[in-house]
Amino acid sequence: MSEGGESGLAPVNPKAIPRRRLHTGATMPAVGLGTFGSDSVAPKDVAAAVRGAAEVGYRHFDCASVYGNEGVVGASLQEVIRSGIERAEIWVTSKLWNDKHGEKDVIASCRKSLADLRLDYLDLYLVHWPFPNFHPPGCDVSSRSPDAKPYVHGNYMKTWRKMEELVDLKLVRHIGTSNMTVSKLELVLRDARVKPAVNEMELHPHFQQPELFKFVVDNGVQPIGYCPLGSPGRPERDRTAEDTSPMEDPVVVAIAKRHGIHPAAVCIKWAVQRGQTPIPFSINPRNYTANLRAAAEDPLSADEMKAIAEIDRNCRLIKGQVFLWKDGQSWEDLWDVNGVITPP
Ligand SMILES: NC(=O)c1ccc[n+]([C@@H]2O[C@H](COP(=O)([O-])OP(=O)(O)OC[C@H]3O[C@@H](n4cnc5c(N)ncnc54)[C@H](OP(=O)(O)O)[C@@H]3O)[C@@H](O)[C@H]2O)c1
């Protein structure tokens, strides 16, 4: 691999990136590269970004079977490992898709991701959503599955038992949840034999989820933050007129000007310093290099961190409408906003 990477920018020393300690004692790089092309970026471009990102210092990759690119991402990971970066130095996450919650499907799905990613173990395997509802990739916001189902804790635990078996089989080192709420996680933490190591959740300056964030941290579960930049390239189905953009927030813009950096870098610094693990997506070498560098140098001041804490707008971007299971519901029903699991 070439000195300096495809970006032409100096690589970042992976040792300069903070790490998060998980309940097993293992540590995970506190910034990862997202690999969801938002239904618009070609798999080969995401795969090139994985290669380029490893070259400039990324050691954490957030994958999922539903992103439709694990095969080509796996070819890139293989090249990365063959180039001399040891498997143990990289952290790879994958996720179980919603139509594979069935007891017979979990282990087979994980094995498929492992084969596609050309790995013999995953560092982390997540249940992507707590709803066992299939919708086809690329569908629009009004798409509903005729077989849609709500969260039923007993069913989730059947899936979770299979996730636990993946740990016993040494196919995965850690298991975790994604898109959960406090009320659902309380039950999973109560009933799990192998505890979730992380919860992956939407986190950016306009959606800070303070209650869920505190809950997971207090329970020794690491928060991984998706859409850390406010996902400017997200699919049409995930856009509404009320959505706001953290990178355009005047407070973020002013801090960026003061540091002479892009607002994206401010979002990453805030995330890392707050204690979550952001997983920004980019296929642009300049952008992904800058995003990693943001975690390694020039931290925000306590006053800047406080100023960003105050611009939370409770603006959820990934609302999940396609997972609604009956007529007359609103997306808030997916998120237990009253502190209790929405009844079936
Ligand atoms: N668990 C879940 O349910 C879930 C849900 C959503 C996402 N995720 C994960 O989280 C990752 C990140 O979320 P996301 O991709 O939706 O949103 P994001 O990381 O907030 O935003 C990505 C967008 O920001 C642009 N960007 C990146 N760096 C930039 C920079 N330095 N300056 C300006 N623009 C920049 C990218 O464009 P360029 O390519 O042009 O740089 C891309 O369009 C996903 O890829 C996926 O791995 C997980």
- Taking only the tens place, the pLDDT of each residue in 225-259 is 999 999 999 988 899 999 999 999 999 999 999 99
94 lines ligand 1 (CB under 6 A): no
- Ligand 1 centre from 236 Cα, in Å? 14
Find the 281 Cα to ligand 1 centroid distance in Å: 3
pTM of the model: 0.97
First to last CA, the chain: 53
CA distance 134 to 231: 23
Return the pLDDT at 7: 55
Ligand 1, atom 35, residue with closest C-alpha = 287
Q: 292 C-alpha to center of ligand 1: Å?
A: 13
The protein residue whose alpha carbon is closest to atom 31 in ligand 1 is 287
Tokens of 161: 């038992």
In this predicted model, what pLDDT tens digit does every residue of 113-142 receive, in sequence order? 999 999 999 999 999 999 998 877 778 888
Ramachandran area for residue 170 (φ above 0: left; ψ -120 to 50: alpha; else beta): left
Residue nearest to ligand 1 atom 48, measured at CA: 226
Specify the 3-state DSSP secondary structure of 127: strand
Mean pLDDT of all residues in the chain?
95
For ligand 1, say whether the CB of 294 is within 6 Å of any of its atoms. no
Q: What is the pLDDT of residue 287?
A: 97
Q: Which tokens sit at 50?
A: 């994985």
Say how many C-beta atoms besides its own lie within 10 A of residue 196's C-beta: 27
The amino acid sitting at 325 is: W
- Closest residue by CA, ligand 1 atom 15: 281
Q: Is 67 a catalytic residue?
A: yes
The pLDDT of residue 261 is 97
Q: Is the CB of 210 under 6 A from ligand 1?
A: no
The widest CA-to-CA distance across the chain, in whole angstroms, is 57
Please, how many CA atoms are within 13 Å of residue 87, restricted to the half-sphere of its CB? 9
Determine if ligand 1 sits within 6 Å of the CB of residue 280. yes
- Here the tokens at position 240 are 């509404």
Ligand 1 in contact with 7 (CB < 6 A)?
no
Catalytic residue among 67, 151, 156, 288: 67
pLDDT digits (tens, 9 = 90+) for 168-189: 999 999 999 999 999 999 999 9
For residue 49, report the distance from its CA to the centre of ligand 1, in Å: 12
pLDDT in tens, 92-110: 999 999 999 999 999 999 9
37-74 pLDDT tens trace: 988 999 999 999 999 999 999 999 999 999 999 999 99
Atom of ligand 1 nearest to the CA of 49: 39
pLDDT digits (tens, 9 = 90+) for 294-343: 999 999 999 999 999 999 999 999 999 999 999 899 999 999 999 999 99
- Whether the pLDDT of residue 11 is over 90: the answer is yes
Contacts of 245 (CB under 8 A, 6+ apart): 206, 230, 232
Q: Is 166 helix (H, G, I), strand (E, B) or coil?
A: helix
Q: What per-residue confidence (pLDDT) applies to 3? A: 41
The answer to whether 204 and 230 are in contact (CB under 8 A) is yes
